[in-house]
Amino acid sequence: MRKIGVLFLMALITISGMANDSTASQRFVLNELFVNTHCHGARDATLYMDSLDVQGVNHFVTLRYHTGFPDPFDPFYNRNPEEIDDIRYWYIIGALPEMLIDGEKAGMSWWNYGRKILEAWRVESPMEINLSGFYNDESRLGVLSIELIATDQMTYDDLRLKVAAYEDSVYYPDPDSVYIHTKTVYDFIPTPGGEEFMIQQGDTLYFNKPFTMPEDADPDMIGFAVWVQAQQSKSVLQTAKIDLPDLEITDGMVDMMVPETDIIIPPEGGRIEYHGRITNRLDEPRSFDVWTVIVHPDGYRQVKLNEWTLDLEPLEQRVYFNLFQDVPGWAPPGQYKFYSYIGNYPNAKSWDMIEFEKAEGYYRFSDGSNRPNAFEIHDVYPNPFNASAVIGYTLANSGRVKADIYNIHGQKIVSLIDEYQDTGLHSVIWNGVDGNGAEVSSGLYFCRLSVGNEVGIKKMTLQK
């Protein structure tokens, strides 16, 4: 085992010195090892990967997913059994140990893992991932800031951004005499399925992932792995990792206070009422951006609603009373998350969140019926907007739907939808960019939405 590890390290050092004129990026490899504290074969794979991890720290990360088989009482598995089961079923994992290297199964022959990792590392990546973030040591809340850069041509259209939080160097003497357990995954942010996105060569995208530190965890031993994965082929395009101690201590705080704990919005729509508090934790003046985001029940669609810039005096705490956020009736039922972020947009430093439920029930359409009898485009939400707007619409019949944005001169800015859709309630998001991904200027715009011979138009105002 020691000889294989040395050869692996020497190969990495040799290849690192090679010249590379490609526009592609150096790959950072993701290893996902499925283990259990009562599996002897998993013990050997764990110890082998522990030895490689020390040498390949700048070239790959190895996550350990502790499953519920053969021992359902594995303490690492029981920290988050539902999500671990989800990812195990998604990968179709049977006997242990099982290793995936950049999404491809490497089998149970752990002595071959080093060679296969090296082969994966030699394949260039079409993107870069840069990580930063902030952590509040008092509230144990933090924000992971992610920058994705497409450095080469992208050939996938089903990409997901995935984030896992892990705990390192955990002491637990298991029956197979493994005492220190490394990079055991305890959470996915927000879910194992990740966040859907699209990116083209030359694009740069930014994401904020809020997280909460477990009360029983040592902050010095917490880390995060971030990767981009194609959902159908399961191929991992690029990975990055960062440790919690490498995040900055936040200098700003945002709090959202609600008068009731259980917020339920009726089917016809309603309003969330809350108070907000902004705090400058430094003894010097600071300027902060504050913005709000709603995450839809599917966990993937996020809509930025508002943004403000505030100047605070040293150690100033400012409270805003009687704030509200409207929720339209055509919004689908389910559990929503309403976030407030503080930082320097798009990089957040802290956050707070209100959860609310949109109740099941029939949305009553303009003719008073409970079912869609005609094509209808609903009010744009919010309007005016300064970041993202949601256009809701109803289809009485299935058909090919087209949604385009025009300026006041009648010029088409961007096409949002051109696809076949079934009858029912739908919505589309416009983020204030044109067909090339460039931000457009403030002003009046029109959304033209059509299905068959039916056409609907809504005005929307972009205010920056």
pLDDT at 105 over 50: yes
Tokens 């201590």 locate to: 249
State pLDDT tens for residues 414-424: 999 999 888 77
Q: Higher-confidence residue: 25 or 425?
A: 25
State pLDDT tens for residues 131-144: 999 998 888 899 99
Q: What is the pLDDT of residue 13?
A: 42
Question: What value does the CA radius of gyration of the chain take, rounded to a whole number of Å?
Answer: 24
Over range 3-32, report the average pLDDT.
62
- Pairing type for strands 159-167 and 412-421 reads unpaired
Return d(Cα 435, Cα 446) in angstroms, integer: 15
State pLDDT tens for residues 315-344: 999 999 888 888 877 777 889 999 999 998
Q: What is the pLDDT of residue 17?
A: 46
Q: What is the pLDDT of residue 445?
A: 95
Domains with residue ranges and CATH for the chain: 2-247 (2.60.40.10), 250-358 (2.60.40.3880), 376-462 (2.60.40.4070)
Q: pTM of whole model > 0.85? A: no
Cα 232 to its chain centre, rounded Å, is 18
Q: Which amino acid is at 423?
A: T
Specify which of 68-77, 221-230, 381-390 reaches the highest per-range mean pLDDT: 221-230
Largest Cα span, the chain: 76
Return d(Cα 360, Cα 97) in angstroms, integer: 43
Band (301; pLDDT cuts 50, 70, 90): low
The answer to whether 446 touches 458, Cβ cutoff 8 Å, is yes
